[in-house]
Amino acid sequence: MGKRILGGREKVKVAVVQAAPVFMDKQKTIEKACRLIKDAGRNKAELIAFSEAFIPTYPAYYTVGYETNPHEWTDYMIALQDNSVVIPSEDTEILGQAAKEAGAYVVMGLNELDDRAGSCTVYNTLLFIGKDGQVMGRHRKTMPTYTERIYWGKGDASDIRVFDTDIGRIGGLICWENHMTLIRAAMIHKGEDFHIAVWPGNWKRGEKQLLDADTSPEGALCNLQSLIKVHAFEAGAFVLSACGFLTPEDFPKRWHYIRDGNHINYGWAQGGSSVVNPAGRYLVEPNFEKDAILYAECHANQIKAVKAVFDSLGHYSRWDIAQLAVRQEAWNPEVPLTDPSSREVELPADELRRISEKFEVTLEKLESMLEEIQKIKRPGRRSRS
């Protein structure tokens, strides 16, 4: 696959699914997702994107606070855990089978229950599934927004990733992560062909409440619509923007007391999904209809034409002036206690090159010096037999 744009393909058909979940019902929402995946597959889509936290819903529509009824809060929070997805699990196998039948890559927004023993933390996650039905990986939102922190933990450096496939390189960020300049830059520098940007709706600042529905043409008052155009141009990539949708009819009777209560705000979950080309223009304009699947054909030549003029990874960059340092490893709360003298120093290849150039030492000599340093024992330490 390597460096070929769109995996060497001339074009790839993509789909953005804009649909409402069955509110706080994992199994029925997964069933609905599988139907939609297969529908998109029958229409020859090879990349299918769903909105933020589609399974089982975006929980922060429920606006809890210290004044919330504790029994109501407990009911909701336990239900969120019970209806979140463990990766991997039978749930991901079901989604994978649908992706395999569709012959498509699927990027699914979901609530993920931590797979570590003893943890009940929920994460806002993008699940990446291959066309063979296997889980490729996940991206956990690195910074939950405002009241989202009531519901979700934070991802770490291992979640900043792009997947190389036979249709191109696929990455994604969740909601306002797309406004985190350095995180977004890190994704661009990984060479995306497709960027999946997912959101819980399309909003504006309201008068009587902080968030309200944006009913302007193209949802232009919402910051996401301008952002996706900017990212498409800066990355030289296609952006699949998947926005949430929810109506009163999407709440099962079990949750009517939440729907009709004083701590709910979902009027801005009105869609607004779209597809943007690398020139920052809509291939599919924002759609505000329920249960719509948006299709677009993405041509490799559109990427090539834009990057001939503006290539942020190549001729339109100045790494001698500014560089981006990105941590790669995951954050593990449990670290074995080891003798510091036994730890090896590992440096990325680009960092080794930088040091060798700075001190005018060949790479071979620098690597030999590092090997010798590894052999040195700290004073006062005994060698282990």
Q: Indicate the residue among 309, 330, 354 that finishes a domain.
A: 309
Q: Indicate the residue among 309, 328, 355 that finishes a domain.
A: 309
Q: Which of 36-45, 75-84, 133-142, 343-352 has the lowest mean pLDDT?
A: 343-352
What is the per-residue pLDDT for 383? Answer: 45
Judge if 219 and 76 occupy the same domain: yes
338 pLDDT higher than 70? no
Number of folded domains in the chain?
Answer: 2
Give the chain's end-to-end CA distance (angstroms, integer): 47
Confidence at 14, pLDDT banded by 50, 70, 90: very high
Contact 271, 290 (CB under 8 A): yes
pLDDT in tens, 200-211: 999 888 877 888
Q: Phi first, then psi: give them for residue 160, nearest 5 degrees.
A: -90, 95
Judge if 113 and 60 occupy the same domain: yes
Judge if 271 and 361 occupy the same domain: no
pLDDT in tens, 243-281: 999 999 999 999 999 999 989 999 999 999 999 999 999
Contact 289, 241 (CB under 8 A): no
Residue 325: inside a domain: no
Strand order in the sheet with 135-140: 135-140, 122-129, 105-113, 47-49, 11-18, 292-299
Rounded Cα gap, residues 169 and 329, in angstroms = 21
pLDDT in tens, 317-330: 998 999 999 888 88
Residue 246: inside a domain: yes
385 pLDDT higher than 60? no
CA-wise closest residue to 192 among 233, 159, 135, 156 = 233
Residue 18: inside a domain: yes
What is the per-residue pLDDT for 337? Answer: 65
Taking residues 358-385, report their average pLDDT. Answer: 71
Residue 276: inside a domain: yes
What is the per-residue pLDDT for 382? Answer: 46
Q: Phi first, then psi: give them for residue 298, nearest 5 degrees.
A: -105, 120
| Ordered alpha helix ranges (H), the chain | 26-42, 70-82, 90-102, 181-189, 223-235, 256-259, 300-309, 349-358, 363-375
Judge if 62 and 138 occupy the same domain: yes
Q: pTM for the complete prediction?
A: 0.86
Residues annotated as part of the active site: 52, 141, 175
Residue 216: inside a domain: yes
361 pLDDT higher than 90? no
Judge if 137 and 223 occupy the same domain: yes
Residue 128: inside a domain: yes
Peptide bond into 88 cis (omega under 30): yes
Rounded Cα gap, residues 173 and 235, in angstroms = 13
Residue 330: inside a domain: no
pLDDT in tens, 209-248: 888 888 677 777 888 999 999 999 999 999 999 999 999 9
Contact 177, 192 (CB under 8 A): no
Judge if 248 and 346 occupy the same domain: no
Name the 3-class secondary structure at 138: strand
Contact 266, 248 (CB under 8 A): no
Contacts of 197 (CB under 8 A, 6+ apart): 172, 173, 178, 224, 227, 228, 231, 239, 240, 241, 242
194 pLDDT higher than 90? yes
Rounded Cα gap, residues 141 and 303, in angstroms = 27
Rounded Cα gap, residues 14 and 104, in angstroms = 9
Q: Which of 33-37, 140-144, 158-162, 364-368 has the lowest mean pLDDT?
A: 364-368
Domain that holds residue 63: 5-309
Helix, strand, coil % over all residues of the chain, rounded to 5: 35, 25, 40
Contacts of 304 (CB under 8 A, 6+ apart): 5
Judge if 45 and 177 occupy the same domain: yes
Q: Indicate the residue among 309, 329, 357 that finishes a domain.
A: 309
- What's at 211, amino acid-wise? L
- The overall average pLDDT reported for the chain is 92
185 pLDDT higher than 90? yes
Judge if 104 and 182 occupy the same domain: yes
Residue 319: inside a domain: no
384 pLDDT higher than 50? no
Confidence at 380, pLDDT banded by 50, 70, 90: very low
CATH of residue 77: 3.60.110.10
374 pLDDT higher than 90? no
Judge if 252 and 360 occupy the same domain: no
Judge if 279 and 346 occupy the same domain: no
79 pLDDT higher than 60? yes
Judge if 259 and 353 occupy the same domain: no
Taking residues 374-383, report their average pLDDT. Answer: 55
Q: Which of 272-276, 281-285, 344-348 has the lowest mean pLDDT?
A: 344-348
334 pLDDT higher than 80? no
What is the per-residue pLDDT for 381? Answer: 46
What is the per-residue pLDDT for 365? Answer: 86
